Amino acid sequence: MEEVVHARGHEHVTAEHASTWELTSDDWLTPAGDCILGVEADRTPAAFDEAFCEACRDADREVTATFEVGDTTVTVTGRGHPDLTFEDDRSIVVRTSDYVDDRTVMVGADAAAGDLDRSLVAALADGADCRLVLRV
């Protein structure tokens, strides 16, 4: 099962956060948003298919997030969690920790924003389009 989200980069993308990364449906980003990789996301957790959400609530299921930005593809791997709600209608957040809130779609991720390929980050800082494929 998969969910596909399209977003775009922004001049304030720095991708320096040590424990999370995020896509937001907002059309703006301040320099303080060091976990945000993209803006104007066309889908949020509240719009995801219920079967996908239910599969992600299994702590034993592997969840992957693959970024496609220009010629660069990066995959982050984590897992599901029984407390995932998929209720947020604004942001998608992936966490290296086990913390869960309404925005969280994956926990135990093997990469946060600060760990991502710097060529991908540079392209996003230049406003590149981003395709995110979440798979469980």
| 9-41 per-position pLDDT tens digit | 999 999 999 999 999 999 999 999 999 999 999
Beta partners for residue 1, in sequence order? none
Q: How far apart are CA 102 and CA 94, in angstroms?
A: 11
Q: Tokens 């600060």 belong to which residue?
A: 114
| 52-84 per-position pLDDT tens digit | 999 999 999 999 999 999 999 999 999 999 999
| 80-124 per-position pLDDT tens digit | 999 999 999 999 999 999 999 999 999 999 999 999 999 999 999
> Could you tell me the residue ranges of all domains in the chain?
2-135
The pLDDT assigned to 100 comes to: 98
Q: State the number of CA atoms in the 13 A half-sphere of 29 facing the CB.
A: 27
Q: Does domain 2-135 have CATH number 1.10.1380.10?
A: no
The H or E element containing residue 55 is: helix 50-56
Beta carbons within 8 Å of 69's beta carbon, 6+ residues apart: 9, 120, 123, 124, 128, 129, 130, 131
